């Protein structure tokens, strides 16, 4: 991948997209292409087609889309499916028509069956039903993943690379407790509880489900690593994980320590937990020479410093935490 190659990063202000931009800039790539939603609506097929015909990016990282936790999936299931499927179809179709050299699209660990052997290997996809509480998002991401595989098969090529990162976190994450995933939601709620001197924080579920968390910068490093490889002699899709998980209770305690919140954590086991465990088998990508470098404790501390420096602190009411 040449330093002056036109690289379009869709969703460049989000968690993974911003990490990809940082990584590419750090490695000296100088022809990055980005567009804000006000400039390019990825749900508008006409706009996307015209953009690709005009800009002709050689490489594309599709990190745009609607994400959220259990409550968001349950409240807006149609929006999750509509928005994500439209974005994926429009971008992948335009990329195919204009001859991009490689495109990366992100799936999700929630695509795997709820009751899946651990760690979850890529062949387990579609071997059972995904977790019902995240089904709308899972279906939309399965659609994008398998559209990539269909294009590759029909075109006798491997231009479209579907990746499955586990739960991502880091700078530029969504920290709104009403719509965020569990890690960033916990961080925001504990910070506000510390500021307000709250004696306790009520949390959804039992705290027993286990999750694997990977820093967005490690995901970005994996993306650039794959884009630079001349021959990707590996079957798609490809998992991206760190190989270790923690319980939600353990995560909450780690974040409370990082934030400096000393109050009580009260778990409401009458609320849903989500899938019991989501640990990825990342042997495929490790066989290609990539490995993660950011440990969870270090990543949490760095993320909290970014949150304090960049996110306006507002009053946070008692909202559920979603795993």
Which one of the listed residues 29, 112, 137, 307 is annotated catalytic? 137
Q: Is the peptide bond before 119 cis (omega within 30 degrees of 0)?
A: yes
Residue with structure tokens 């590759």? 152
Q: Report yes or no: 322 and 274 within 8 Å, Cβ to Cβ.
A: yes
Strand partners, 32: 7
What are the angstrom distances between the C-alpha of 225 and each of 19, 229, 278? 14, 7, 24
What are the angstrom distances between the C-alpha of 67 and each of 44, 108, 110, 138, 179? 19, 10, 12, 10, 8
Residue 137 appears among annotated catalytic residues: yes
DSSP codes, 255-269: HHHHHT--SEEEEET
Query: What are the start-end ranges of the H helices in the chain?
Result: 15-26, 45-55, 70-75, 77-98, 135-155, 182-196, 216-228, 248-259, 283-287, 296-310
Q: Report yes or no: 58 and 5 within 8 Å, Cβ to Cβ.
A: yes
Query: How far is Cα 22 from Cα 16, in angstroms, rounded to an integer?
Result: 10
Q: Report yes or no: 215 and 299 within 8 Å, Cβ to Cβ.
A: yes
Query: Hey, is 54 helix, strand or coil?
Result: helix
Query: Hey, is 201 helix, strand or coil?
Result: strand
Q: Which residues are catalytic?
A: 137
């Amino acid at each position: 991948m040449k330093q002056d190659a036109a690289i379009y990063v869709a969703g460049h202000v989000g968690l993974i997209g911003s990490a990809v931009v940082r990584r590419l800039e750090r490695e000296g790539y100088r022809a990055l292409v980005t567009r804000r939603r006000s400039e390019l609506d990825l749900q508008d097929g006409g706009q996307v087609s015209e953009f690709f015909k005009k800009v002709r990016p050689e490489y594309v990282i599709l990190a745009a889309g609607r994400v959220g936790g259990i409550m968001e999936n349950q409240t807006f299931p149609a929006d999750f499916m509509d928005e994500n499927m439209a974005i994926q179809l429009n971008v992948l179709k335009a990329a195919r028509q204009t001859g991009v050299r490689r495109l990366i699209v992100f799936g999700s660990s929630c695509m795997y069956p709820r009751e899946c052997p651990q760690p979850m290997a890529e062949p387990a996809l579609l071997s059972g039903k995904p977790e019902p509480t995240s089904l709308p998002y899972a279906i939309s991401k399965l659609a994008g993943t398998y559209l990539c595989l269909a294009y590759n098969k029909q075109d006798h090529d491997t231009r479209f690379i579907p990746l499955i990162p586990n739960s991502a976190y880091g700078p530029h994450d969504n920290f709104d407790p009403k719509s965020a995933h569990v890690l960033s939601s916990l961080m925001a709620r504990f910070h506000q509880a510390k500021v307000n001197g709250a004696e306790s924080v009520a949390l959804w579920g039992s705290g027993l489900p286990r999750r694997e968390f990977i820093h967005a910068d490690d995901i970005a490093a994996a993306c650039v690593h794959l884009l630079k490889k001349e021959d990707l002699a590996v079957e798609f899709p490809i998992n991206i994980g760190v190989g270790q998980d923690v319980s939600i209770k353990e995560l909450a305690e780690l974040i409370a320590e990082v934030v400096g919140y000393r109050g009580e954590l009260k778990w409401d086991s009458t609320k849903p937990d989500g899938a019991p465990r989501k640990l990825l088998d990342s042997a495929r990508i490790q066989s290609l020479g990539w490995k993660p470098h950011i440990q969870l404790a270090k990543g949490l501390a760095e993320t909290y410093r970014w949150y304090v420096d960049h996110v306006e602190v507002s009053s946070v009411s008692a909202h559920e935490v979603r795993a």
